[in-house]
């Protein structure tokens, strides 16, 4: 009888990390990696930075080449979408049964019965009604989406005009970015460096405020204004379009974005040749309809990243009980994806070793025999123009923020974030790496607020 595989759903950074950890941990059985895109696993943060700018080509984003993946002996199924999961039997349903031999034990057309499953399907971009039927309106979550936007930005810009005054776009294309979070700000920086006329629209007046707080957000807003980005506040009410060609065939072309009444920034109509929707994301859980799973804001997991017996999750899609912070959290951070992929793999192997030793065999690492809670110190970064922002811990949802601007002209600043009387996050802009490493220790185990303030002051003074 053919052994059941472990299946990793999501050929992402988290999914790849899980697959590699399963092999390192001793899993010698079949190992299936399923991805709904046709590409080998690639790195996503450069999509809105180096790739969009044109500094990198797609092959530089690959996390592993085909030759590097070969030793994993993967049943690699790219361009294949998981459409269902029966939790009780750990059986996946795959669209079209791509690559699945008929009548093979546990692997009939469209079905894959598994010893265990790790879900790493990430998130999908949110959009606006009807946007998918308008030419020139883009989202930016996948490689193909980034290349499509890059192709349009490659025409009409004036490279090097990123320091132009507001309203002096230098003859570039008119790009309206809807959403002034981190992704929207990164894309705005790239587009200005390419010489385009950029308008950044947000519901909140301060860019990135939800992620980093008002004062740090305003510091970066000053940089965007200095670089020529127009900042507007308001909700999108709709799009204006023109026929794609005189015959009226094809999707209509966007010509403007309309803001709802009350939108600030000099009017409610924003002329646009291109629009980028950067209005957030939703966890890719719509295919998980089994009532045994909680898919409220991601796939709910315990402290071990387990959503159900034999079912684990990792990366952007996972909302798990963080043992240090004492509440369920979900992070859309690159480092977390890799770390959680490895943790989910290790804990799945430990569960299988305890409940089904025959499935794991003698090769499973002894260190995987006991599950361990996943308790990372979250880390994220953002590059905008020549500025680097880095943060450890939790910066969103803080009930107290203390910001110290060290050099406004250079956009150098430090911020401490608190919740319930303890410091839970720290953020630095323009801080040397040695100082940044010292700041991580302040929030690794949340300290009382005043103690954390003293530690931050000492670390800053030492630099």
Question: Token pair 């971009």 is at which residue?
Answer: 125
What's the mean pLDDT in 110-121? 96
pLDDT exceeds cutoff 90 at 34: yes
What's the mean pLDDT in 130-159? 90
Confidence of residue 456 (pLDDT cuts 50, 70, 90): confident
The pLDDT assigned to 130 comes to 93
The pLDDT assigned to 83 comes to 95
Q: Beta strand 75-78 with 82-86: parallel, antiparallel or unpaired?
A: unpaired
The pLDDT assigned to 455 comes to 87
**CA 134 to CA 239: how far, in whole Å?**
9
Average pLDDT of the chain is 90
For the chain, percent of residues with pLDDT exceeding 70: 88
What's the mean pLDDT in 68-78? 96
Confidence of residue 245 (pLDDT cuts 50, 70, 90): confident
The pLDDT assigned to 166 comes to 38
The pLDDT assigned to 167 comes to 42
Confidence of residue 237 (pLDDT cuts 50, 70, 90): very high
What's the mean pLDDT in 360-389? 84
pLDDT exceeds cutoff 60 at 275: yes
Question: Token pair 């920034």 is at which residue?
Answer: 265
Kindly list the distances between the CA atom of residue 367 and the CA atoms of 5, 209, 345, 350, in Å, as whole numbers in the listed order: 21, 42, 12, 8
The pLDDT assigned to 105 comes to 36
pLDDT exceeds cutoff 60 at 218: yes
What's the mean pLDDT in 303-322? 98
The pLDDT assigned to 438 comes to 80
What is the 8-class DSSP label of residue 162?
Answer: T
**CA 87 to CA 82: how far, in whole Å?**
14
Buried b / exposed e over 224-257, threshold 16 CB at 10 Å, is bebbbbbbbbbebeebbbeeeeeeeeeebbbbbb
CA geometry: angle 37, 127, 213, nearest 5 deg: 105
The pLDDT assigned to 441 comes to 86
**CA 10 to CA 292: how far, in whole Å?**
21
**Least confident interval from 1-10, 107-116, 188-197:** 107-116
What's the mean pLDDT in 179-202? 97
**CA 114 to CA 75: how far, in whole Å?**
13
pLDDT exceeds cutoff 60 at 108: no
**Helices H / strands E in the chain, number of each:** 11, 28
What's the mean pLDDT in 9-28? 97
The structure's pTM equals: 0.91
**Least confident interval from 1-15, 143-157, 260-274:** 260-274
**CA 412 to CA 223: how far, in whole Å?**
12
The pLDDT assigned to 305 comes to 98
pLDDT exceeds cutoff 90 at 379: yes
What's the mean pLDDT in 312-321? 98
The pLDDT assigned to 207 comes to 97
- pLDDT: which is higher, 311 or 268: 311
Decide if 9 contacts 118 (C-beta within 8 A): yes
């Amino acid at each position: 009888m053919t052994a059941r595989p472990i299946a990793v759903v999501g050929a992402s950074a988290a999914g790849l990390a899980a697959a590699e950890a399963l092999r390192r941990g001793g899993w010698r059985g079949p190992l299936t990696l399923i991805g709904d895109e046709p590409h080998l696993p690639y790195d996503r943060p450069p999509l809105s930075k180096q790739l969009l700018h044109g500094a990198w080509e797609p092959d530089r984003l690959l996390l592993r080449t085909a030759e590097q993946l070969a030793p994993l002996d993967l049943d690699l199924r790219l361009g294949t979408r998981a459409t269902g999961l029966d939790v009780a039997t750990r059986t996946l349903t795959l669209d079209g049964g791509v690559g699945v031999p008929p009548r093979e034990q546990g692997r009939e057309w469209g079905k894959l019965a598994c010893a265990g499953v790790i879900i790493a399907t990430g998130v999908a971009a949110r959009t606006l009604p009807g946007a998918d039927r308008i030419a020139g309106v883009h989202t930016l979550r996948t490689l193909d989406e980034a290349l499509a936007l890059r192709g349009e930005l490659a025409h009409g810009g004036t490279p090097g005009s990123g320091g132009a005054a507001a309203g002096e776009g230098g003859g570039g294309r008119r790009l309206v970015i809807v959403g002034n979070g981190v992704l929207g700000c990164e894309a705005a920086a790239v587009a200005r460096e390419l010489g385009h006329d950029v308008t950044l629209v947000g519901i909140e007046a301060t860019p990135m405020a939800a992620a980093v707080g008002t004062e740090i957000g305003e510091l970066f807003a000053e940089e965007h204004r200095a670089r020529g980005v127009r900042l507007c506040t308001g909700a999108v009410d709709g799009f204006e379009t023109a026929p794609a060609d005189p015959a009226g065939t094809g999707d209509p072309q966007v010509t403007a974005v309309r803001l709802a009444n009350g939108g600030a920034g000099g009017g409610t109509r924003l002329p646009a040749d291109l629009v980028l929707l950067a209005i957030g994301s939703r966890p890719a859980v719509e295919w998980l309809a089994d009532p045994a799973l909680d898919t409220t804001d991601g796939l709910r997991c315990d402290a071990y990243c387990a959503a159900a017996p034999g079912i684990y999750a990792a990366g952007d899609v996972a909302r798990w009980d963080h043992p240090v912070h004492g509440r369920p959290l979900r992070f859309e951070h690159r480092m977390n994806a890799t770390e959680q992929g490895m943790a989910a793999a290790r804990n799945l192997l430990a569960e299988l070793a305890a409940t089904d030793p025959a499935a794991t065999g003698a090769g499973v690492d002894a260190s995987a025999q006991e599950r361990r809670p996943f308790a990372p110190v979250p880390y994220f970064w953002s590059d905008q123009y020549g500025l680097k922002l880095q943060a450890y811990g939790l910066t969103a949802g803080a009930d107290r923020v203390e910001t110290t601007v060290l050099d406004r002209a250079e956009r150098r600043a430090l911020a401490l974030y608190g919740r319930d009387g303890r410091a839970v996050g720290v953020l630095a802009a323009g801080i040397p790496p040695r100082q940044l490493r010292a700041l991580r220790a302040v929030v690794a185990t949340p300290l009382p607020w005043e103690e954390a303030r003293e530690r931050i002051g000492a670390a800053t003074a030492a630099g």
